[in-house]
Structure 1
Amino acid sequence: MKTMKKLLFLTFATVLFISCSNDDDPQPGPNPPEAYEKGIFVTNEGPFGAGTGNVTFISEDFTDVQQHIFLTVNGKDLGNIVQSMNFQDENAYIVVNNSQKIEIVNRYSFESVDSIKTGINNPRYFLGTDNNKGYVTNWGDPNDNTDDFVSVVDLRSNAVSATIPVSFGPEKMVSNGNKIYVAHQGGFGQNNLISVISGNTVESTINVGDVPNSMVVSGNSLFVLCGGNPSYTGNETAGSLVKIDLSNGQVSNTYNLAITQHPTGLTIDGANLYYNLDGKVYKVNSASVSLPGAEIINGFFYALEAHNGKLYATDAGDFASNGSLKIFDLSTNQQIQEFQTGIIPGGIYFND
């Protein structure tokens, strides 16, 4: 009898414990809301002709690395090719170029929220604004230089509300105040323009160097890194760094490299600019520009981002197998971490 009483008591106590635990101390599920709250996302383009791109997550303290997080959380692939990603408020907007869509996920849990599949055509980059608008650059038909446009997205409904015709090859965008600056790299060709968009209208264009591939805002200046026409065009031109005065929209300075030098990947941390050139990373002070600047790191990198005293650089390797993310301490210019990514890691984004 005593044994039976003990068993009944233990059973009752266990049920009571479980009940109290469920009511007072809820346990997170397999994907808690804050799963990706602090850390680094790397978008991996994936194989060009087939297969899918994906996203790698690395925690802020570098202790947790997760691959294919969109597939893990949502049970489906992103598609081909994962071109880029950007944040607005609590959402992340993942541009999937060949699949002709933008996947919208919660930036902290990576759970699907919505997708945009109409009003875009060969989308490249997304930029959100604080007035419930998003902008998407589109190539249209890559072989037609007359049909390129920027989609305007109502972020309350995630529907395209307007399209803005622009010059060919629109790519990366930055915002300053109520204006959007669009770099026209040129798609499969070469271009040399920055479009300035206000609302749903191109209010002006700015001529810069050939093939503007990246931009940063520093104070009241927009710095535009231009790769120059490559040699295979038969009209090779020098790479350059163009400084635009944002108060009047005019070019204030152009700093040229040699005709055979074609820089990429402009980024900024504090007062210093960083970019790629011929297997080296160069550092330039934004207040006293002199090119090429100081060589600080060796390496052929596919994407480059400076952030909080560190330089994050992706290595795409042979472009057919997994790449890597390398992290350098900018106080010493020494590598401090390296993590595996997916195939062709093309973008680095900080969720902080």
Structure 2
Amino acid sequence: MKKIIFMAFTALLFAACNSDDDNVQSEYIPAAFAKGIFITNEGPFNNGSGNITYISEDYSTVAQNIYRNVNGTELGNIVQSMGFNDDNAYIVVSNSQKIVIANRYTFQSVDSIKTDLNNPRYFVSIGGNKGYVSNWGDPNDNADDYLAVVDLRTNTVSSTIPVAFGPERMVTYNNKIYVAHQGAYGQNNLISVISGTSVENTITVGDVPNSMVVSGSTLYVLCGGNPSYTGTETAGSLVKIDLSIGQVTQTYSLGTTQHPSSLTMDGTNLFYNLDGKVYKVNTASISLPGTDIISGNFYTLQAKDGKLYAADAKDFASKGSLVIYDLSTNQQIQDYQTGIVPGGIYFNE
């Protein structure tokens, strides 16, 4: 049945894209991509193009490579991440040194940003007309990393903010940007606090902060720790920061050889990956590693509304999958094929 629905969806999508009737296009495609899940697929590292998979909210429709199918062009190499502002999706294509902008409901191309970016990683917006993009610069140069400040009215970089090396993921709170400095091809241990167009503060956390969530006025930072190949292996940790005072209030450590990743949150529970398992930790009483609830080597996780969405990159050379679990039972309820190296999970609402 799903195959029939998918074929019908694909036929209608191509018909809408090829139609000369703008009314037909606007009536059909917005409904197709509203209320669903986007998976950004990095694609092959050295060649080829990344792409985006779409799954409807009710799981009845799955569509692959939606940007190419709508616009007739590839996104480029590597599709690193995606962020939203108002009606637009900002797709960060790192090796191609650009951000592709598409309408998040039709996925029709809107614009692109191709200047003043150097190994872009992630995009966030604090609303209004300003966006931020983390950039590694030359990943072998620890002194040229920066955030690009984007004027979302003109889709141009209006200024840059020099930051410590290896800026990666970002979250927002109270009109400030919190940047995790994972360390590019090296390692770092900082969170930068960005206000406007300057660095207001830096907060030292554990080594290799790789993911963050905000709950109320608390920022939880998951730190992977230095890997063994560095020769100075350090333990992974979970760091709790009180955003009202901008200070670390608690650090919870794992064993020296334990390197967690992919922190996410649903309700009062944190979830993360460690050693081929997903662990659950209640924020009311944090004790690491927590309770292991699901087995699997997942590339990234997102929890939402009682479900865990887990991207499996498999061998990083063939198509991956998105596996969905019911967190009330910790049982798998869905499994969908994605593109090569599914690295990001985003909810279109």
Settle same-fold status: TM greater than 0.5: yes
| Alignment match, 1:229 | 226
2:27 and 2:316 map into 1 onto residues whose CA distance is 33
* 1:31/1:73 contact within 8 Å kept: no
| Alignment match, 1:9 | none
Residue 119 (1) aligns with residue 116 (2): yes
SS of the residue aligned with 2:29? coil
Q: Deviations over 1:157-187 (max 9, x none)?
A: 1110110000000000000001100000000
Seq. identity, %: 71
Q: Deviations over 1:9-55 (max 9, x none)?
A: xxxxxxxxxxxxxxxxx755795233201110000000000000000
| Alignment match, 1:309 | 306
2:332 and 2:115 map into 1 onto residues whose CA distance is 43
Higher mean alpha-carbon deviation, 337-346 vs 32-41, is at 32-41
* 1:263/1:275 contact within 8 Å kept: yes
| Alignment match, 1:104 | 101
Instruction: Note the C-alpha offset of 1:130.
Output: 1.3
| Alignment match, 1:169 | 166
2:63 and 2:289 map into 1 onto residues whose CA distance is 37
Letter in 2 for 1:84: S
Instruction: Write out the 4+ residue segments of structure 1 that deviate beyond 6 Å after TM superposition.
Output: none
* 1:229/1:236 contact within 8 Å kept: yes
Q: State how 1:1-352 maps to structure 2 within 5 Å.
A: 27=24, 32-352=29-349
2:120 and 2:26 map into 1 onto residues whose CA distance is 34
Q: Which has the larger Rg?
A: 1
1:286 and 1:313 map into 2 onto residues whose CA distance is 21
SS of the residue aligned with 1:306? strand
SS of the residue aligned with 1:34? helix
SS of the residue aligned with 2:344? strand
Q: Deviations over 1:243-300 (max 9, x none)?
A: 0001110000000000000000000011110000000000001122110001110000
1:151 and 1:27 map into 2 onto residues whose CA distance is 38
2:82 and 2:39 map into 1 onto residues whose CA distance is 9
2:218 and 2:200 map into 1 onto residues whose CA distance is 18
| Alignment match, 2:11 | none
| Alignment match, 2:15 | none
Count residues in correspondence: 327
| Alignment match, 1:7 | none
Instruction: Note the C-alpha offset of 1:132.
Output: 1.1
SS of the residue aligned with 2:69? helix
* 1:94/1:104 contact within 8 Å kept: yes
Distance 1:105 1:258, change over 3 A: same
Considering only aligned residues, what root-mean-square deviation do their CA atoms show, in Å? 1.0
1:301 and 1:33 map into 2 onto residues whose CA distance is 31
Q: Deviations over 1:48-102 (max 9, x none)?
A: 0000000000011111000000000000000000000011111000000000000
SS of the residue aligned with 2:238? strand
5+ residue gaps, structure 2, are: 1-22
Q: Deviations over 1:103-153 (max 9, x none)?
A: 000000000000000111100000011131100000001110000000000
2:27 and 2:216 map into 1 onto residues whose CA distance is 43
Letter in 1 for 2:215: S
5+ residue gaps, structure 1, are: 1-25
SS of the residue aligned with 1:35? helix
SS of the residue aligned with 1:235? coil
1:295 and 1:128 map into 2 onto residues whose CA distance is 34
Letter in 2 for 1:342: G
SS of the residue aligned with 2:31? coil
Letter in 2 for 1:103: V
1:177 and 1:80 map into 2 onto residues whose CA distance is 34
Q: Deviations over 1:182-207 (max 9, x none)?
A: 00000000000000000000010000
1:280 and 1:88 map into 2 onto residues whose CA distance is 33
1:290 and 1:264 map into 2 onto residues whose CA distance is 16
1:293 and 1:322 map into 2 onto residues whose CA distance is 31
Normalised to the residue count of structure 2, the TM-score between the two structures is 0.92
